[in-house]
A and B are shown apart, each in its own frame.
Chain A
């Protein structure tokens, strides 16, 4: 059984701080990694994807991948109240489909 693990939270950070969201996965054959954001009552939407070891930056968001440690993270700089949502880590292995973690709830207080 392929597993994707995330701390459920809630993770609470003050406005302007850095939020760090973490994810581990069990299958070493996993090839690509995604972070989705889901607001309450809404469907998930893609924030970032990463395929290679290292960092990938997009605006206030940075995804980090370490395949040796089977670890993916998402950093949100200058956190805003509008970033309050559940963040879902998803992992893809060839021949299957995206497998999601249970999500981490982020709360940014103003």
Chain B
């Protein structure tokens, strides 16, 4: 079974802090994605990556950056956390760009 592991299920951070959300997949998938999910707004794409060291902006990249130094790991970085970044963050991977997404369990971030 594909396993996508997000390092933290729950985080509480202060405004202005730098936040790292880590995601690791164990199926040698080329493609990895970061979404955030908010009530009434659904799943929104932040960034995605089709290869190591490659990244593409999604629909809401402002305030975020990503890093993909190794194929299995895709990190989401909040350089200076703000309260409007309080959300559920979901990492996903896929073998094909248009294929099935496998999601991690999510990281619920609260910024105070």
Contact = CB atoms under 8 A, between A and B. Distances in A.
Nearest to A88: B43
A89 B72 CA distance: 27
Q: Bin the interface of chain A by size.
A: 20 to 34
Nearest to B32: A97
B42 A98 contact: no
A97 B45 contact: yes
Contacts of B31: 97
Contacts of A20: none
Interface in B1-50: 31, 33, 35, 40-45, 48
Interface string B68-112: 000000000000000000000010000001101101111000000
15 contacts: A31-B98, A32-B98, A43-B103, A43-B104, A43-B105, A43-B106, A44-B43, A44-B90, A46-B101, A49-B100, A92-B97, A97-B33, A97-B48, A98-B45, A100-B43
Given A46-B101, A92-B97, A102-B41, 11 more contacts: A31-B98, A32-B98, A44-B43, A46-B100, A88-B42, A92-B98, A94-B98, A98-B101, A100-B43, A100-B44, A102-B40
